[in-house]
Structure 1
Amino acid sequence: MFRLSFPSPGRRRRVGTLLAVVCVSTLVIALGELSGDDTAEAAQAPARPASTSRPSVAPEVSSSPRLTAPARRTPAQRLDALGQAEKWDLSGSSASEFTQDACDMADETDSRPDLAGESVAQALAMRVASADSGADALRVGIPVLCPKWTKDLKASLSGHYDRWITDDTYDIGTEPDQIPPGTYRTAGDIADCYWERTAANGDVIDNGLVTVARRITVTISAADSTFTSDNCGVWTPVH
């Protein structure tokens, strides 16, 4: 009679333990092979290139234009603007040019009166008379461009100023290019000086020829028509 025999409980535990060990070992080997394959594939894969994207740059912010205050006009520019607005006739010159020429003339006359042969007020009066709007331009321009000559300008505009006499023949009167009646004197190293007073008909009222002198004085009458001076230096009014 055939009998089935079963292992004892202790043997069954040993066999179970052995089977568990075998299974675990097989799993470890399989996992190791899989990990090795992944490592090889990773080694053979080309390196991923570094990022070539440019760093982001903040967009430029356009600044609004800076507001600047309008430039202030110079005194000469303001004078020219006034001259244009008033339509001054200055013989083709601008108001500032006309005035600056008068300022320079006054400076030169004051620095070398012996060479100029005229007073500052007399020079300014001649400048005023050189253009139809000369008085308007200098009345406004000189206090702005050369204020030191303002007093002399007022005298020239009033007609009451010293007139100096040099070598020439002058009409007697009160216009800028005339000589008013009065007493005049010349001084210095005078040699071969000739002077002459004449009437309206050309007759000689008085004259003199001075070979050598240090001072000569002559009185011009309101009835005189002209006065002539030759090589006598500069005659100035006697006050």
Structure 2
Amino acid sequence: MFRMSFPPPGRQRRVGTLLAVVCVSTLVIALGEPSGDDTATATSASARPPSTARPSTAPEVSPSPRSTAPARRTPAQRLDILGRAKKWNLSGSSASEFAQDACDMADETDSRPDLAGESVAQALAMRTASADSGKDALRAGIPVLCPKWTKALKASLSGQYDRWITDDTYDIGTEPSQIPPGTYRTAGDISDCYWERTAANGDVIDNGLVTAARRITVHISASDSTFTSDNCGVWTPIH
């Protein structure tokens, strides 16, 4: 009779354990060992606490543009706008340029009247007469660009201002380039001065040649045609 024999129980456990070890070893060889980086990454990821930050619900606010007030125009700019609107003819100059030139001329005349040979009002009158719209430009420009000469401008526009006489020949009259009748005087260290009054026909009414003097006075009549001065300094009216 055939008899089956079994290993003792202790041997069975040893065989089972051996089989388990062989299976695990085979699985490790087939899959490969985990790398150190993967282990660290996995550990780091598992160790990181879950984020508790809540998404921001506040609406985004865009910066508001700065409110800028319009730049204020200068007196010169306002004067130029007026000149263009009125279509002033100023011989190619803008209204501010024309008026500023008159301001500078007045300052220079006032600082050195002996060299200028004319009063401030006389200088402004000559500037006014140099362009068709000169009166308009100076009437609007002098009070805002050089207000200290406003009074002199009013005198020049009225025609009631002092005219000074230097070395030249002048017609007698009331225009800016003319000399009104009246009594005139020159003073200082005068030497070799010649002056002359003539009639409309060219005849000499009166004249004088002064070799040396401290003061000379001459009366010019309304009937005179011209007055000539040479090397006599500056003649100013006597009121």
Task: Note whether the superposition's TM-score is higher than 0.5.
Answer: yes
Q: Does 1:190 align with 2:190?
A: yes
Q: For residues 161-211 of structure 1, what are the alpha-carbon distances to aligned partners after superposition, in whole Å with 9 as ceiling and x for unaligned?
A: 000000000000000000000000000000000000000000000000000
Q: Which runs of 4+ in 1 moved over 4 A?
A: 41-45, 55-61
Q: Distance in 2 between matches of 1:147 and 1:82?
A: 18
1:46 aligns to what SS in structure 2? helix
Q: Does 1:46 align with 2:25?
A: no
How many angstroms does 1:63 deviate by? 1.9
Which residues in structure 2 correspond to 1:42-121 (within 5 Å)? 46-48=39-41, 62-121=62-121
Kindly provide the amino acid, as one letter, of the partner of residue 98 in structure 2. Answer: F
How many angstroms does 1:43 deviate by? 11
Q: For residues 22-76 of structure 1, what are the alpha-carbon distances to aligned partners after superposition, in whole Å with 9 as ceiling and x for unaligned?
A: xxxxxxxxxxxxxxxxxxx99976112667xxx9999985423212110010111
Q: Distance in 1 between matches of 2:34 and 2:218?
A: 128
Instruction: Give unpaired runs (5+ residues) of structure 1.
Output: 1-40
Across the two proteins, how many residue pairs are aligned to each other?
197
Q: Distance in 1 between matches of 2:77 and 2:109?
A: 26
Kindly provide the amino acid, as one letter, of the partner of residue 231 in structure 1. Answer: N
Q: Does 1:219 align with 2:196?
A: no
How high is the TM-score relative to the length of structure 2?
0.77
Q: Distance in 1 between matches of 2:130 and 2:87?
A: 16
Q: What does residue 28 of structure 1 align with? A: none
Q: Distance in 1 between matches of 2:66 and 2:113?
A: 54
Instruction: Give unpaired runs (5+ residues) of structure 2.
Output: 1-32, 46-52
How many angstroms does 1:224 deviate by? 0.2
How many angstroms does 1:235 deviate by? 0.1
Q: What does residue 230 of structure 2 align with? A: 230
Kindly provide the amino acid, as one letter, of the partner of residue 81 in structure 2. Answer: A
Q: Does 1:131 align with 2:124?
A: no
Q: What does residue 166 of structure 2 align with? A: 166
1:48 aligns to what SS in structure 2? helix
2:219 aligns to what SS in structure 1? strand
Q: Distance in 2 between matches of 1:148 and 1:200?
A: 40
Q: Distance in 2 between matches of 1:132 and 1:176?
A: 14
How high is the TM-score relative to the length of structure 1?
0.77
Q: What does residue 209 of structure 2 align with? A: 209
Kindly provide the amino acid, as one letter, of the partner of residue 220 in structure 2. Answer: I
Q: Distance in 2 between matches of 1:103 and 1:70?
A: 29
Q: Distance in 2 between matches of 1:170 and 1:226?
A: 5
